[in-house]
Chain A
Amino acid sequence: MVETVKYDPRSKFPPVDANSGKSVYNLLSGKYMKVWQGPQHPGITGNMSLELTVCGDEIIDCKTHVGYLHRGFEKLMERRRYIQCFPLVCRICVPEPDFNEYLFAEGTEELAGIEIPEKARWYRALTLEMARLASFLMWIGGQAAAFGMGTIGQWTVTMRDYVLDLFEELSGGRIYHMYIIPGGVRADLPAGFALRVEQTLAQIWKVLDDVELALMYNAVFKKRAMGLGVITPSIVDEYGITGPNARGSGVQRDIRKDNPYLVYDQLEFSIVTETGGDAYARTWVRLRETRQSIDLIRQMLEIMPTSGPFFQKLPNVLHWKIPGGQTYKKAECTRGEYGFFMVSDGTELPRRIYVRGPSYTHAVTLMEKLAVNVNIADTAGLMVSLHTYPPEIER
């Protein structure tokens, strides 16, 4: 192959090898330096590392390394009965485990031809929105802390703890709830639960007002987040970008609206978008979606059925043979499209369960692209603004 662009030695970017397409740089030249960020770093929820090549304090090349959290969930599930897979799946995403439970349960029910009661559908949607709220509150803390505003993180993580209190009351677990089980949900709402939810929501709403003032109108945050990690609408499909990362670029897509599941078609809400495409726009999207989540929970508590069964009795789960077939179930989680592709061969064990996490594309291919030309001090802020959880990359 012929090199078409002549390399200018004054450029801070190293020449690109025409055959491999990779940058060629001499680390001994004194011009470049390698810096490892991670696997423990506030810019990443979970363990993942970035191999950064810097010229001065600007990143000229980024390579992501995953595998620190590989526990082989997909392989483990091939050797387990469906009900034994159920307590495994929530561990794929720590801050927001309910989507795994929901999608696994939904996929199993579809393959087995089980209809769940109406009340269970509402309870599932309620749990998913509460999980979304908890996840966003944790994310706000991470985004603010990545730019040196740790206090905001303390406010929101406290609020997240109050949501976890509610989960503890509902399911017995703070982090892994194992509440949405195949057939419905595990328990009815405790007495007075709606009242306590409302009290917590009112508290969170007030804190969000403070967060908005302290973060979104903060000169330091605006200066650093504006123009950082710009995602243009043209690369949204090219890189498989979904969720707030796409909506921050003005792309109006939300699975809750486009392919409504559970009870979302009975709730009133609109798709939140911003047009900036940068970290600042994504922060606005997520802040507004946090408020939207509060609104959705309030709507659900008002109109959800209060009587009726919440669980459809299943066959003996120890000998539960799921009819052969395949399905793909998806839902809109805080980070984008979360999905379970399930294949059954008619036996008691699943043939294949594949977990599609939005971080798979956001944290690897997209991060490698967006990190180039970013100041090294903003790497953590950029990484948080993509909202990634490494466990769902390596499953």
Chain B
Amino acid sequence: MATERQERTIQEVKDSDPVCDGQAGLKFVHVGADQAVAYITRLRDVQGYTHLVFFTAIDYIEDSIFRLTYMVHNYASRQDLGVQVDIPRQGATMESIHHLWPHAATYQRELKEMFGIDFPGSPGVDDSFILEGWTGIPPMRREFDTKLYSEQTYFPRPGRVTHDTAAYMKEKLYPSEAETW
């Protein structure tokens, strides 16, 4: 993993400029799950990060964690800051931030549906967002196999010639590359 996972307390990061792997205008900071909402509230109310750009998750299945990323923006300093929080995959739950930004509820609703991360108290978090009537595992989790799903759900129509994609690419499209695959 390229980025070093480090947890800092609010006290450590609140007075200092959060420094992480990033280029000009973009920085990332890692905080603990229990301090994240307090830290983000401080960023919004005190440090001028008033714009929630997006809120998403990254699935590190090999480490059994979800890395939540809250991207906030400060219009005065023109700085993007990604606040990253690691939470366990098993029974994933996180505190809601819909009280800070109403549109965060939509992100949380999507995260519940796509990753199975719960945000207790977030408005409409249990309602389906995109996948109406979905009963399988949350599809953005790494263990969800899109290929297997499509093989089980869809069937080839008769009368069509099909190729094994990998073999076809090796033989036809990139013959000079075939030996390197």
Query: Which A residues have a C-beta under 8 Å from some C-beta of B?
Result: 21, 66-67, 70, 72, 74-76, 78-79, 110, 237-240, 242, 253, 258-259, 316, 318-319, 323-328, 330, 337, 339, 341, 343-346, 351-352, 354, 356, 360-361, 364-366, 369, 394
Given that A354-B54, A365-B105, A365-B106 are known contacts, is A345 also in contact with B123, CB under 8 Å in the complex?
no
Q: How distant is A115 from chain B, measured CB to nearest CB, in Å?
A: 13
Query: Which B residues have a C-beta under 8 Å from some C-beta of A?
Result: 1-3, 21-23, 25-26, 28, 50-54, 56, 58-59, 69, 71, 75, 78, 80, 82, 101-103, 105-106, 123, 128-132, 139-140, 142, 144, 146-147, 174, 177, 180
List 12 additional contacts besides A78-B142, A325-B2; criterion CB under 8 Å. A110-B23, A242-B51, A259-B25, A318-B180, A326-B2, A326-B28, A327-B26, A328-B26, A337-B53, A345-B1, A356-B54, A365-B105
Q: How distant is A66 from chain B, measured CB to nearest CB, in Å?
A: 6
Q: How distant is B81 from chain A, measured CB to nearest CB, in Å?
A: 10
- Which of A253, A326, A337, A344 gathers the greatest number of chain B CB atoms within 10 Å? A326
Q: Return chain A residues, CB-CB under 8 Å to B28.
A: 326
Q: How distant is A23 from chain B, measured CB to nearest CB, in Å?
A: 13
Question: Which 9 A/B pairs are nearest by Cβ-Cβ distance?
Answer: A324-B2, A67-B130, A365-B103, A237-B50, A356-B54, A361-B103, A352-B58, A354-B56, A70-B130
**Which of A110, A316, A345, A360 sits near B106, CB closer than 8 Å?**
A360
**Which of B59, B132, B146 sits near A79, CB closer than 8 Å?**
B146
* Distance, CA A328 to CA B123, complexed state (A): 28
Ordered by A's residue number, 12 sampled pairs between the chains whose C-beta atoms are within 8 Å are: A70-B131, A318-B177, A325-B2, A326-B82, A328-B71, A328-B80, A341-B56, A345-B1, A352-B59, A354-B56, A354-B69, A366-B103
Given that A239-B102, A354-B56, A361-B106 are known contacts, is A67 also in contact with B71, CB under 8 Å in the complex?
no
Q: Report yes or no: B174 in contact with A318, Cβ–Cβ below 8 A.
A: yes
Q: How distant is A257 from chain B, measured CB to nearest CB, in Å?
A: 10
Q: Report yes or no: A323 in contact with B2, Cβ–Cβ below 8 A.
A: yes
Q: Report yes or no: A76 in contact with B1, Cβ–Cβ below 8 A.
A: no
Q: Report yes or no: B131 in contact with A67, Cβ–Cβ below 8 A.
A: yes
Q: Report yes or no: B23 in contact with A66, Cβ–Cβ below 8 A.
A: no
* Distance, CA A341 to CA B55, complexed state (A): 10
Q: Return chain B residues, CB-CB under 8 Å to A239.
A: 101-103
Q: Report yes or no: A253 in contact with B54, Cβ–Cβ below 8 A.
A: no
Residue of A nearest to B127 (CB): A63
**Majority-rule SS of B interface residues:** loop
Q: How distant is A206 from chain B, measured CB to nearest CB, in Å?
A: 37
**Which of A259, A319, A328, A365 sits near B78, CB closer than 8 Å?**
A259
Residue of B nearest to A253 (CB): B75
Q: Report yes or no: A75 in contact with B103, Cβ–Cβ below 8 A.
A: no
Q: Report yes or no: B26 in contact with A240, Cβ–Cβ below 8 A.
A: no
**Which of A238, A319, A324, A343 sits near B58, CB closer than 8 Å?**
A343
* Distance, CA A258 to CA B103, complexed state (A): 23
Q: Report yes or no: A75 in contact with B105, Cβ–Cβ below 8 A.
A: no
Given that A72-B139, A75-B140 are known contacts, is A364 also in contact with B26, CB under 8 Å in the complex?
no
Q: How distant is B38 from chain A, measured CB to nearest CB, in Å?
A: 19
Q: Report yes or no: A258 in contact with B177, Cβ–Cβ below 8 A.
A: no
* Distance, CA A258 to CA B79, complexed state (A): 10
**Which of B69, B78, B103, B147 sits near A341, CB closer than 8 Å?**
B69
Q: Report yes or no: B103 in contact with A364, Cβ–Cβ below 8 A.
A: yes
Q: Return chain A residues, CB-CB under 8 Å to B50.
A: 237
Residue of B nearest to A68 (CB): B130
Residue of A nearest to B177 (CB): A318
Q: Report yes or no: A238 in contact with B23, Cβ–Cβ below 8 A.
A: no
Q: Return chain A residues, CB-CB under 8 Å to B51.
A: 237, 240, 242
Q: How distant is B117 from chain A, measured CB to nearest CB, in Å?
A: 14
* Distance, CA A237 to CA B51, complexed state (A): 5
Q: How distant is B179 from chain A, measured CB to nearest CB, in Å?
A: 12
* Distance, CA A394 to CA B110, complexed state (A): 9
* Distance, CA A74 to CA B142, complexed state (A): 12
* Distance, CA A155 to CA B56, complexed state (A): 41
Q: Report yes or no: A345 in contact with B2, Cβ–Cβ below 8 A.
A: yes
Q: Report yes or no: B69 in contact with A325, Cβ–Cβ below 8 A.
A: no
Q: How distant is B178 from chain A, measured CB to nearest CB, in Å?
A: 11
Q: How distant is B149 from chain A, measured CB to nearest CB, in Å?
A: 10
Q: Return chain B residues, CB-CB under 8 Å to A76.
A: 146
Q: Return chain A residues, CB-CB under 8 Å to B147.
A: 79
Q: Return chain A residues, CB-CB under 8 Å to B3.
A: 324-326
Q: How distant is B148 from chain A, measured CB to nearest CB, in Å?
A: 11
Q: How distant is A332 from chain B, measured CB to nearest CB, in Å?
A: 13
Q: Report yes or no: B130 in contact with A66, Cβ–Cβ below 8 A.
A: yes
* Distance, CA A240 to CA B2, complexed state (A): 30
